Amino acid sequence: MAGTAPDPFDAAEEAAAALGRITGVDHHDVAVVLGSGWAEAAGSIGEVVATASMDDLPGLPAPTVGGHRGELWSMRVAGRAVLVLGGRSHLYEGHGPDVVVHGVRAAVIAGCTTVLLTNAAGSLRPEWGPGTPVLISDQLNLSGTTPMGGPPPPDRFDGRFADMTDLYSPHLREVARMVDADLPEGVYAGMLGGAYETPAEIRMLQTLGADLVGMSTVLEAIAARHLGASLLGVSLVTNLAAGMAPAKLDHADVLEAGRAARGRVAELLRGVLEQL
């Protein structure tokens, strides 16, 4: 019908088909999404085979947030083809959930059976200060939306009610701890964003069981798991949360924390990819 929005799964399949043309690589095994501050580590993850602009992929907008690069890389790591997205789209930029998860959906449809999601996060645990990478063990989707809303997925995909019991793979978390035995793990709360949380909201999140808070990741995780991918999530603590931090929160500090931790996070990502 005229004016009807395109089906997001059809759009993801179109983008998946375009990945080979854009990168010159027929198949990718693993997808990595780099959050704020993580892009600094991209060049140290593996051998770069090809680069492209993220918006060369149909339906994928270029990131607009500082610390996100508008590039994607096809890499070789320990014999595997790895697709690295140098940034992501966010709800607070005005995108709907289908746009936010579009890159991850396309990667999984294109063959990526493992997805590594990274982000910058505020810490609700005083002992996890800036520069600490933390494995995500579970999540709270407090964004107010979901990629599984709207019409049901086409029949060629599983139904919308995917099991989220082991959303973040226990096996992949063990792999990560083989690389870095000191990694803590905790629950990530994903908010709509656009502004940092208030101290009252942080106290609420602590009551709900959150250890980390950010403005991304949760929708991508749901979409990837629905399509059958195994997930590893890693947050880089860039600040203590509101009411706990000694100074006002500033995105420039988030980026600086990412730069300072570049070596450790690159070693972690590379090590996990080598162990898959």
The domain tally of the chain equals 1
CA trace torsion 50, 175, 35, 117 (10° rounding): 90
Q: Which residue has the higher pLDDT, 135 or 253?
A: 135
Percent of the chain with pLDDT over 70: 93
Whether 1 maps to a domain, the answer reads no
For the cut 80, the answer to whether the pLDDT of residue 231 exceeds it is yes
Instruction: Please state whether beta strands 30-33 and 133-142 pair in parallel, antiparallel, or not at all (unpaired).
Output: unpaired
Distance from C-alpha of 228 to C-alpha of 145, rounded to nearest angstrom? 21
Question: Mean pLDDT, the chain, as a whole number?
Answer: 91
What pLDDT is recorded for position 42?
79
What pLDDT is recorded for position 4?
52
What pLDDT is recorded for position 3?
46
Provide mean pLDDT across the span 108-136: 95
Whether 85 maps to a domain, the answer reads yes
What pLDDT is recorded for position 17?
94
Confidence of residue 184 (pLDDT cuts 50, 70, 90): very high
Residues 14, 197, 201, 256: which is the catalytic one?
Answer: 197
Helix axis angle for 218-226 and 102-109, nearest 10°, is 30
Percent of the chain with pLDDT over 90: 75
Q: Which of 27-31, 63-67, 166-170, 244-248 has the lowest mean pLDDT?
A: 63-67
Please, what is the Cα angle at 109 between 104 and 111, to 5 degrees? 100
| Contact between residue 147 and residue 222 where contact means Cβ atoms under 8 Å apart | yes
For residue range 36-85, what is the model confidence (pLDDT) as tens digits?
A: 778 777 788 899 999 999 989 999 987 776 555 688 999 999 999 999 99
Beta carbons within 8 Å of 146's beta carbon, 6+ residues apart: 97, 219, 222
For residue range 233-267, what is the model confidence (pLDDT) as tens digits?
A: 999 998 888 888 776 766 676 667 767 677 788 89
What pLDDT is recorded for position 62?
79
| Contact between residue 212 and residue 156 where contact means Cβ atoms under 8 Å apart | no
Provide mean pLDDT across the span 206-230: 98
Whether 70 maps to a domain, the answer reads yes
Distance from C-alpha of 161 to C-alpha of 164, rounded to nearest angstrom? 9
Range(s) of the domain holding residue 48: 8-275
Q: Shortest CA distance to 241 belongs to which of 261, 262, 208, 211?
A: 211
For the cut 50, the answer to whether the pLDDT of residue 2 exceeds it is no
Structure token pair of residue 218:
């949760």
What pLDDT is recorded for position 66?
58
Whether 60 maps to a domain, the answer reads yes
What pLDDT is recorded for position 249?
66
Whether 15 maps to a domain, the answer reads yes
Whether 195 maps to a domain, the answer reads yes
Q: Shortest CA distance to 54 belongs to which of 24, 85, 89, 79?
A: 85
Does residue 197 carry a catalytic annotation? yes
What CATH number should be reported for the domain holding residue 126?
A: 3.40.50.1580
For the cut 50, the answer to whether the pLDDT of residue 139 exceeds it is yes
For the cut 80, the answer to whether the pLDDT of residue 109 exceeds it is yes
For residue range 92-103, what is the model confidence (pLDDT) as tens digits?
A: 999 999 999 999
Whether 2 maps to a domain, the answer reads no
| Contact between residue 111 and residue 27 where contact means Cβ atoms under 8 Å apart | yes
For the cut 60, the answer to whether the pLDDT of residue 23 exceeds it is yes
For the cut 60, the answer to whether the pLDDT of residue 136 exceeds it is yes
Whether 104 maps to a domain, the answer reads yes
For the cut 60, the answer to whether the pLDDT of residue 1 exceeds it is no
